[in-house]
Every structure is written in structure tokens, then in C-alpha cells.
Structure 1
Amino acid sequence: MKTASFQPGDRVVLPPYGLGVVRDTCQRPVAGELLAYYRIEFPNTASQAYVPVDAPQGTGLRAALTSAELPTLLGHLQDSQTLNLPRQWAARHRRVTEILAGGDPYELATLTCELRRWNVERGLPDLDRQALRRAIRLLEQEVRGLEDPCACDVRSLLDHAWTETPN
């Protein structure tokens, strides 16, 4: 597998923490050996993470969505694909947690659509509503800072999903 290379200032996503920015690379001692790490800072927080330069894919680190990828994301949000989540709470919670922790924007979009549909049809239990809000927040983070018509459409759709109430 090809190792991703990030530069200072690159927007990245580190699941499940969300959108961050590569500040620099640094050396840190591990078991008596100096290893190279990306230092990731997360906007609006004092949090930071260190990700090994040699194996960022092992942590799930990936480049954030770009404007060119937004039409695909918008398609996933508008398509209202069904996810076939289990009806039993424990199994559903496990699956939803996997999707949220994985941080794949297209899976998050599909999850958002499914939970939105459930919310409109019958309302959501509290934990499912929290999962919907978390998925929306993660998607909003990736779209934040991108300024093009498609980004505005995605933000508008997410804003609508945030405020929707059951029929």
C-alpha cells in the first residue's frame, strides 16, 4: 500500500476526531528510537495528535475532502440510499459506532440519510439522534472552509437535516 505524504497546512481527517491540520513533522522517542510523526492540530480546540509518518493509514489518517469530491458527497446525501441498519438497538449501535469511528464521508452521508429518514418517519431515540448529530458534525467539518456552490449545497442540506423534526 502506498504511504500517504502530507505537508504542513494540509487538511486531514483523523477518525474519530474529525478534521485537523498538519502543523509539522517532529521526532519523538519511542523505545529508545527517534521516530517521525505528523503533528495534527484540531481547529477550535487545544487538542493535537501525533501520527507516524511511516504508517498514517494504520491510524485512519486521510486527506480531507476537496471541492472536486463534493459532488459525489452531495450525491450520497441526496440519493437517500438505505443502509439497512439492524432494528435491534445493540446491533444497530455497534454498526453506527463503526461508521462514525471509520470516518468515511460517503458512509457518513449514507448513515445521515438513513437516520434522517427514520427521524422524519417516526422520530429517533436519544442515542440514534446523537449519532445523527455526530455524523452531521463530522460532515460539516470536512465541508467547512471549502467555498464553492457544491459546498454551499452540502451545508444547506446538512443544516436542514439538523433542524428536521418528525412528521
Structure 2
Amino acid sequence: MKSSSFQPGDRVVLPPYGIGVVCGTCQRPVAGESHAYYQIEFPNTASRAFVPVAAPEGAGMRAALTTADMPHLLKRLQVGQELNLPRQWAARHRRVTEILVGADPYELATLTCELRRWNIERGLPDLDRQAFRRAIRLLEQEVRGLEDQCAQDVQKLLGHAWDETPN
């Protein structure tokens, strides 16, 4: 993943909004002072966000995955590191929500693998199924538009994971 200096046209992730594109920078007044902001637009929506140039990581903004990141993501999805999720629903829900909101693609991949394993073993309760679907969607968003073979393999694996049924 790239550094925190963004240029127009860069794909970025801004939790909880998802994938956006840097359209440029602008000056906006805050408390009587002018500050520079990245202007982020989100494809297929009229949504727009402004993120401080001085501290984009403070808003959670990061560079979207690139084709160079795909082998590591694919490996994470295939190997399926175990995630020790609490069995008690409330604690599990808190942990899963933290991962989804944080939108770290490698944590999302680990969560996807764990929920996939649970789904195959015994099926998922409704809220866990919703979290599973959301993790897959967030990963699909980030991989969409990348054209290399590894990205296509990631997309196929994610599609297959959702279509599996419990034993």
C-alpha cells in the first residue's frame, strides 16, 4: 500500500464509505483559518468527502490495494489464518464490527476466512451472515477494477465463498 501523499486519480479507502477517488485538493475555512483538504468522490454515488491533507490517516483514509498487493491478499484468503472470535454473541459482534469499520483488507480477509469456515461447519446465524457478506463486499470493492490474474483469482474466491452452503 502507498504512502499517505495522494494525487488526483488515486484510489483510496475511507471507512466507512468505502472506495473513492481523489479528485484534487481544495481550501476550506475552519474556525476562521483556511485548511487544505483532499476532495474524495465515490463512484456511482453523489457522495463527496473532504479529508485534511495534513492528517489523512486521522480520518482513516488509506491507499486502496493495488495489483502488487493481490498475491498477499490471495494468500491470506487461501491459507485462512484462524481468528479467535468470541463465542458469546455480544463480544463477537463488537470484534467483528471493529474489523469491518477499520476496513483493513488483510483483517477483512482473515475475518472472511473464519466466517466462511463457520458457515461450512454449521451455518451462520443471521447477523454473522450479514457480517460475512459485508466483509466480502468490502474486499470485492477494493479488488474491483484491478485487471491482473491474481485480482481475478481473488474475485473468484470471494464469489465462491459466498455461494458455499453448510455441510
TM-score by length of 2: 0.96
Is 1:86 aligned with 2:86? yes
> How is 1:4-153 mapped onto 2 (pairs within 5 angstroms)?
4-153=4-153
Identity across matched positions, percent: 80
Q: Structure 2: which amino acid aligns with 1:76?
A: R
Query: Could you say what secondary structure the match of 1:93 adopts?
Result: helix
Secondary structure (helix, strand or coil) at the match of 1:154 reads: helix
Q: Secondary structure at the match of 1:76?
A: helix
CA RMSD of aligned residues (A): 0.9
Equivalent position amino acid for 2:45 in 1:
T
The one-character-per-residue Cα deviations of 1:88-135 (angstroms, maximum 9, x if unpaired) are 000000000000011110000000000000011111111111101110
1:23 and 1:161 mapped to 2: Cα distance?
Answer: 34
Q: Flag structure 1 segments of 5+ consecutive residues without an equivalent.
A: none
Alignment partners' CA distance in 1, 2:28 and 2:89: 42
Whole-Å separation in 1 of the counterparts to 2:6 and 2:12: 9
CA distance in 2, matches of 1:156, 1:82: 21
Q: Distance in 2 between matches of 1:98 and 1:124?
A: 19
Question: Secondary structure of the equivalent of 1:29?
Answer: strand
Runs of 4+ in 1 over 4 A off after TM superposition: none
TM-score normalised by the chain length of structure 1: 0.96
**Tell me, what secondary structure is at the counterpart of 2:142?**
helix
Which runs of 5 or more residues in structure 2 are unaligned?
none
Report the count of equivalent residues. Answer: 165
